[in-house]
Amino acid sequence: MIEEEVSTIISVIGKSKEELANISKKLHLGLSAEEMSLISSYFKNEGRDPTDVEVQAIAQAWSEHCSYKSSKIHLKKYIFGIGREKVVALGDAGLVSLDDDTAIAFKMESHNHPSAIEPYGGAATGVGGILRDILSMGAQPIAVTDFLYFGTKKVKGFPDPKFIEGGVVAGIRDYGNRVGIPTVSGGIVYSEMFSPNVLVNVGCVGVVDKKKIRSSAITEPGIVLIVAGGKTGRDGIHGVNMASAVIESGEEDITTVQLGSPITKEPLIHAVLEANEKNLLFALKDLGGGGLSSVVGEMLEAGGMGGKVYLEKVPLKEASMKPWEIWISESQERMLLAVKKENVNSVLGIMEDWDITSSVIGESENGNRLRIFYNGAKVLDLESQFMTSPKLYERPSLIEEKRIVQYLPSFPNNFAKLLLGMISDRNVRTREQVVRQYDHTVRGSTVIGPLAGIVGSEGPTDASVIRPNWNKVNGVAISHGSNPFYSKIDPYSGGKAAVDETVRNLISVGAEPLGFSDCLNSGNPEKHKVMGEFVEMVKGMHDSAYSLDIPFVSGNVSFYNEAGRRRIPTFPTILGVGKVEDIRGAITPDFKDPANDIYLVGLPTTDLAGSLYFRRLKKDGGRVPYSDPRTLKGRGWNLLNAMRSGTVNSAHDVSDGGIATTISEMTVGSEIGAALDVSALGLRTDFALFSEPQSSWIVEVRSGREKEFVKYMGEDAIFLGQTQQSALAITRGEDKILTVDIDQIRKKWKRGYE
């Protein structure tokens, strides 16, 4: 039976709720008294008390981070079922189809809590972790993405936001650049709402030959388990428990801090892909939250197997580690490979060739029990099913009815000044200080990166496009959508707006949207209001994605972003991927030639709540812009067809700051301005120019193709004017609204850079 020398027996049988809660606290398990009671009665049935290895393992598996216990019911109801016929496979990352042979694997994940404590390491290991998720599917990573939310004011007891921003960006830069995967897309939002709760949402996209897709399920006995990559250390113990609780202050438990080692990961990617290419891997999974404990349990459970593991065979950083520490350590850069006996030597040989540490640690067995040994002593003996199925919660939720109060700003008297202010706004102006620190051309496949236009004066793009195969002409488009400002006012509409923006961005480059991944950021789910916001958000995401028939194939939930008694709004970051049939037809926003027609595809709105215009006026009022997925689908796919037929020169979707900033951004990467008359838009001029209508684009039409374009778009295209040399001039019939030089626009947009 269980021997005591190597592991401690934790006495739980017959203990009161209070005593159980204390045990949870003392051992940093993060479990409720109720959950501890479940453990207690399980072991009562087994006729013995558990070891420390066992309770620690269960605590890992049952953490919010690993089990999604507060969100799963809602995700199942609203998110998981959509567009199923378009999903190629699901796992650590989700897959959609690029062409007959190739699938796209992608996923987004948050690394909010670690980054709040140690921005550099937190962000770096976030990138490391998301890369492993893609690798777990057998896919070659082709792009990294990062969506960042920074605070704007210092909160006592927490680091300065500037320090956090510097650390986060450096962490992503140093990790992404060193592993050699281009960081090509993302976003940055600055708002007081994120002081001190900085959010770091990272994504990764990969491609895989459909015949080489691997699952993580071990479905046969006698499959050998190999741990490969970094060694196992004390770093990162209890990370998942931390991500499942509110941070009390800026300084936290040191054992959870990790910096990551990209040069361990870089060859590991090659080696794992080589082994997969040679069909040597039966299954694989990355070691993330919960370490070996979660991964071994989940792989066996998924295939209906039991198994055994010998902990002394795990390569360690520190010899003195206790068995429970080895079992739950979250050390970075590790993969678990499940390999048929006859292939073990070949796999170990490939690891050796790439100078990577690897070791056989156990194997699968018939039955449903997982047994762990340490130097001959059994330290864990559990049904894997018990570990991997925690109690799910349908936490009470409260949906607040908000009264809509209208607000009508006084009519602006200087439109030029207003526009230039918006262009240089922190949330609009160039992100070059960040994106130019990220290598976005490595791998030599970046067709459209974060910046495009004349060399030396590039402007922003909407989505990036990667050509994954040099022998084909198709490409993968990658973009994001997120609007915490809308979400804060109305989580339902914010959820829809995020989907709308993601789709808009993909269509802007000429890509057909294929699938979404999401990072759901929120506060403490035990609060009824927070849970209410959460439910509203996923409903909004559902309603849009369902109408569009586009699946969410992966994602992650981050609750408890409530440090410093301040909480973030509940909102999603969405990562979208799309397909560009022929990269030679991909489209960028920079205006291409003078004297071309410019159209608005869409309609301005009178809903201005949460818009940049109102935010700059420090006003709130009315509703947030309304996104109708059917309109999006109709207009968007018509525009896509117009693009594919070659009628479009340039396109940019309308987002922060409305039509006026959108057009301004199109001048940045070119030497070309525009002369526009906005009378056709109706509405007050400020609403026409600065409202943020959903499902809308500004399009420069190719000369000679105007009629065709209009035929594709029908009434959805409103003629605004033409491109011209050097200045942006806007009139309303006879009235001059503004004239600004495009050099001045570029200067404002570049504010703070160079």
Partner 1 sequence: MEEGIRVNREVKVAIIVMEGTNNEEEAYQSFKHSEATPEIIHLKKLEDRKKKLSGYDIVCFPGGFSAGDYVRAGAVMAARIKSSLMRDMEEFVESGRPVIGSCNGFQTLVELGLVPNVDGDGRLEAALAPNMSNRFEARTVYLKINRGNSLFLREFKEGEVIKLPIAHSEGRFITRDKEVLGKIIKNRMNVVSYVDGSGKEAGYPWNPNGSEHNIAGIANKNGNVLGLMPHPERVFYKYTESDWTREINGTGMGNRFFTSAVQFVREKF
Partner 2 sequence: MVKLRITVTLKKTVEDSEGDSVKKALKLLGYEGVKEVRAGKIYFITLVKGSKKTGKEFCEKLLANPVINECVVDD
Ligand X SMILES: Nc1ncnc2c1ncn2[C@@H]1O[C@H](COP(=O)(O)OP(=O)(O)O)[C@@H](O)[C@H]1O
Which residues bind to ligand X, rule: CB under 6 A? Answer: 146, 148, 183, 185-188, 431, 434-435, 438, 450, 460-462, 464, 505, 655
In the set 455, 565, 704, 734, which binds partner 1 (CB under 8 A)? 455
Phi, psi of 137 (to 5 degrees): -90, 0
Query: Within a 13 Å sphere around the CA of 502, how many CA atoms are in the beta-carbon half?
Result: 33
For tokens 């019939």, the residue is 733
Asked whether the beta carbons of 477 and 465 are under 8 A apart, the reply is: yes
Phi, psi of 722 (to 5 degrees): -140, 155
Asked whether the beta carbons of 610 and 471 are under 8 A apart, the reply is: no
In the set 354, 546, 626, 637, which binds partner 1 (CB under 8 A)? 354
460 binds, among partner 1, ligand X, Mg ion, none (CB under 5 to 8 A by kind): ligand X
Closest separation in Å from C-beta 190 to ligand X: 11
Compute how many residues bind Mg ion; rule: CB under 5 A.
4
Task: Determine, following the binding rule CB under 5 A, whether residue 462 of this chain makes contact with Mg ion.
Answer: yes
The first and second tokens of residue 414, run together, are 């200087």
148 binds, among partner 1, partner 2, ligand X, none (CB under 5 to 8 A by kind): ligand X
Ramachandran area for residue 419 (φ above 0: left; ψ -120 to 50: alpha; else beta): alpha
Handedness of CA 682, 683, 684, 690 (dihedral sign): negative
The closest of 570, 547, 575, 574 to 560, measured between CA atoms, is 570
| DSSP β-bridge partners for residue 307 | 364, 370
Segment 2-61, which members bind partner 1 (CB under 8 A)? none
Closest separation in Å from C-beta 664 to partner 2: 30
Helix (H) or strand (E) holding 149: strand 140-150
Closest separation in Å from C-beta 313 to partner 2: 21
Three-state DSSP class for residue 484: helix
The closest of 290, 298, 371 to 329, measured between CA atoms, is 290
Segment 167-186, which members bind partner 1 (CB under 8 A)? 173, 177-180
Catalytic entry in 74, 111, 480, 652? 111
Helix (H) or strand (E) holding 109: strand 102-110
In the set 454, 549, 735, 736, which binds partner 1 (CB under 8 A)? 454
Q: Is 270 a catalytic residue?
A: no
Nearer Cβ to ligand X (505/544): 505
The piece of 189-197, 324-332, 469-477, 629-637 that touches partner 1 (CB under 8 A) is 469-477
Segment 120-159, which members bind partner 2 (CB under 8 A)? 120-121
Q: Is 652 a catalytic residue?
A: no
Segment 649-678, which members bind partner 1 (CB under 8 A)? 670
Q: What radius of gyration do the chain's Cα atoms show?
A: 27
Catalytic entry in 65, 113, 238, 440? 65
CA distance linking residue 449 with residue 460, whole number of Å: 9
Query: Per-residue x/- marks for Mg ion, 498-527, CB under 5 A?
Result: -------x----------------------
Task: Determine, following the binding rule CB under 5 A, whether residue 653 of this chain makes contact with Mg ion.
Answer: yes
Asked whether the beta carbons of 543 and 79 are under 8 A apart, the reply is: no
592 binds, among Mg ion, partner 1, partner 2, none (CB under 5 to 8 A by kind): partner 1
The first and second tokens of residue 129, run together, are 């972790």
505 binds, among partner 1, ligand X, partner 2, none (CB under 5 to 8 A by kind): ligand X
CA distance linking residue 165 with residue 155, whole number of Å: 14
Nearer Cβ to partner 2 (66/228): 228
431 binds, among ligand X, Mg ion, partner 2, none (CB under 5 to 8 A by kind): ligand X
Active site residues: 65, 111
Residues lying near Mg ion in the complex (CB under 5 A): 462, 505, 653, 655
